[in-house]
A and B are shown apart, each in its own frame.
Chain A
Amino acid sequence: MKGSYLGELEELTLLTVGILYPEAYGVGVMDEIEKQAGRSLNISAVHSVLTRLEEKGFLTSKMSDPTEERGGRRKRIFLLTAAGKRVLEEAHQMRTQMYNRIPKMALQFQWT
């Protein structure tokens, strides 16, 4: 299914939203990605990934209470949906499965 395909950045963002629960919002996600993965993104890119994920149904959002640091503006708080969790699990599972199928030799060879 087309909708269930997750891009790399999408997966990263989805994971971050999970990590930041229940306080994931634009700038927070951006900072966390930079911290965890060392990738510096522009805030607008983060926004577009978040809204795309929301359109795909992996995230929902609600507005938070107003905060002072934003000049009294509210944040949009993102939360994982059931579909979002499932797609993360599937991606993780697929990776582990695939990882496990790599012949030991190959790994050893690389690690030496």
Chain B
Amino acid sequence: MVSGITRDWLLSDSPASRSQAAWGRRYRLWLQFRRHGLAMAGLCVIVFVVVVSALAPVLATQNPGAQDLAARLAPPSAAHWLGTDELGRDLFSRLVYGGRITLGMVLAVVVLVAPFGLAVGCVAGYAGGIADKVLMRVTDIFLAFPRLVLALAFVAAMKPGVESAVFAIALTAWPPYARLARAETLTFRNTDFVAAVRLTGASASRIVLRHIAPLCLSSLIVRVTLDMSSIVLTAAGLGFLGMGAQPPSPEWGAMIASARRFLLDEWWVPTIPGLAIFVVSLAFNLLGDGLRDVLDPKQS
């Protein structure tokens, strides 16, 4: 009964407040999104990983750092659900705690990168002229660096670790967002509705912040979601090369790196974190595809 009222309230044709209208719009998008089976699967996986990472202290059967050299490289069993690594640490517990590091890195990169790229792109696109040229050439310079190489150099110059890895990835991840936001801004800049806002006498910053940036947001969200998988991979790559999270922290890429010697005999030790990386990045990709279908204004 309660849910019926809520649904009608959300789908109402004549909402009674701005927030009802906004929630109604979101609910309609959600209804659309729900029809994409694969995207929903991606969302479920990500929610699952987030929940598991958040509850890591509860779910982990053992301390992820606790060594038990007697039981090293053990196959999956009742005591060690996914087996143990070369120092006898419980792989399941390490995997669960590792999710925190990986997701934390992804989140940190996105929080750093998305608003910055959006701001640079919107300002460049709306201001045009010299500001546009300068901002876009800087963007081009960063775009020209190979991501992993720049990240490696950056991390090598600082001290290896999670924070440096996050900064390194952020440094190379923002230019595509700036380009995207600029392209979107250019399409909106000369529309009548922006002209109408200009004719109210609104300042340029108000127009960009309140009218143009919100429109760029949806394609940015799509792009960010699709990019998350590559952030996961870069983070794991840096970990694998020893430039990201440092042992003994259970980062997935570092776990593979330290266990790669055992790939032939005790194959599950490197394979399990590999599978985790694969599943999470695939889930982000599927989610991004679904979001694109729902949010991309060019397709609707």
Pair from one complex? no
User: Taking beta carbons and an 8 Å cutoff, which residues of A are in contact with B?
Assistant: none
